[in-house]
Chain A
Amino acid sequence: MTAGAPHQRRDEFERVALPHINALFNLALKLTRNRKDAEDLVQEAYLRAFRFFDSYEAGTQIKAWLYRILRNTFINRYRAAKARPEEVDFDKIEAVYEQMVEDNFLSERRAPTPESVVMDGVLDGEIQEAMADLPEEYRTVVVMDLVDELSYKEIATALTIPLGTVMSRLHRGRKLLQAALLEFARRKGIVKGPRSVAPDGDQPS
């Protein structure tokens, strides 16, 4: 990006960057879990991107560049005081998830499907809650994959992480998300489950 007169620079920035405001807001909302914080985060990310617009290479994917700045801004602004990353016992949750899938959807030849039972049985708020409970590094990748439908390469570029890390985070993120949805369904009595698969370790009633 070459420098021009200030108003030309701003016009060019707005032309290429603002069309992605919905995608940025959506990711910001998933990260902050709060609409006001999400709006503030989007504004801050845009201002930061504008300040460094000269370092953006024209022709490369600006959405990935904006995502990267938004996520870095989020990490610095909202996680500054957090000393440790969020931790979940993934192996335990995965084992229970596999068992529940087996018991509910694979054991009988004409078993119901997760789409018809789980996804039709949970509320929008429960899906948002399950998404919000994912550790941030998994949540970001899941949003980019399932909502934005970015390729793994685009996600890797946006987050400046290796492709293998994208794959690992996506595997874990989706598994944790689906496990949480199964748990909501189990609590409603619409699927069978030996015990909770909630990441917070909730036990069956």
Chain B
Amino acid sequence: MRPLYLDRPVDCRDFRKWVYHLQADELAEADREKLIDHSAQCEACARYLEAEDSFLRGLRGRLVAEAAPEGLETRVREALELEAPSAERREGSWIRTPAVSALAAAVLLAALLVPTLVGMPAGDAGSVGEPKILHVVKTVTVVDHNCDMTGASFAQQLACRNARHLNVLKLGDGSYWNVNLDHPSARDIVMEPSLRGSRITVEADFYPELQTVQLIRVREASSRL
């Protein structure tokens, strides 16, 4: 059942806003009919639809998928063969587990922070050898890094009891921030499975090179997703 988006007669502005979804045949029948009815009565929009149909035909004709180069499949098979015998062991390895970068980054960040905390205000860095720092206030989601990378739902992440899985902060664009452990709330955020799916707003110093935040303040943004 497709959702309804158009709860009133459409005008030309609506038509142009929804025309791509009309072309893709992704609208509910009632919405589709409203747009078609409008184009039947509006010559400008009918011609606009023709122009967009023409553009779409041209795009589909020129945007063809490129085949993978010869040899890539063999390369992947060979890599999988090397991976397979030790897959189980590696999956649990601290070195290869992606979320462990949170801890590694935390250790590294601690070293980087020493000169920063001693002699330089946050956000004022930039010279050679000093970490670049951005002050950020952002609403993010706490996720289990390993599980989230594979698309596991929040329910699955909450149920995951793999002690080696650590939490990270997920941004709206799908990227992740690691959390430096040097804050009273940080350990819970990184270690606590029950927080997965929680939306929190963090004020923090962000280290782009490490994709890591040094928390300043944390508050709950909303109920769990």
Enumerate chain A interface residues (CB-CB to B < 8 A).
6-7, 9-10, 13-14, 18, 21-26, 29, 35, 39, 42-43, 46-52, 55-56, 65, 68-69, 71-73, 75-76, 79-83, 85, 98, 101, 105-106, 113-116, 118-120, 124, 127, 131, 137, 143, 145-148, 151-152, 159-160, 163, 167, 170-171, 174, 177-178
Q: CA separation between A137 and B171, bound complex, in Å?
A: 13
Contact B149 A69 (CB under 8 A): yes
Q: CA separation between A25 and B72, bound complex, in Å?
A: 9
Report which residue of B20, B51, B75 has the largest number of chain A beta carbons within 10 angstroms of its beta carbon. Answer: B51
Q: CA separation between A79 and B174, bound complex, in Å?
A: 11
Contacting A160 at CB < 8 Å: which of B63, B65, B151?
B151
Q: CA separation between A177 and B211, bound complex, in Å?
A: 30
Contacting A23 at CB < 8 Å: which of B47, B65, B72, B73?
B65
Partner-contacting stretch, out of B33-41, B84-92, B197-205, B214-222: B84-92
Chain A residues contacting B151 (CB-CB under 8 Å) are 65, 68-69, 72, 160
Q: Mark B158-195, 1 if CB is under 8 A from A, else 0.
A: 00000000000000011110000000000000000000
Chain A residues contacting B62 (CB-CB under 8 Å) are 119, 124, 127
Contacting B51 at CB < 8 Å: which of A18, A21, A113?
A113
Question: How many pairs, one residue from A and one from B, have CB atoms within 8 Å of each other in the complex?
Answer: 174
Contact B3 A82 (CB under 8 A): no
Say which size band chain B's interface belongs to: 35 or more
Which B residue sits closest to A49, measured CB to CB?
B150
Q: CA separation between A39 and B54, bound complex, in Å?
A: 34
Knowing A6-B87, A22-B67, A25-B66, say if A146 contacts B59 (CB, 8 Å).
yes
Contact A131 B63 (CB under 8 A): yes
Decide if B58 is an interface residue (CB 8 Å cutoff): yes
Contact A21 B208 (CB under 8 A): no
Contact A119 B21 (CB under 8 A): no
Which A residue sits closest to B134, measured CB to CB?
A83
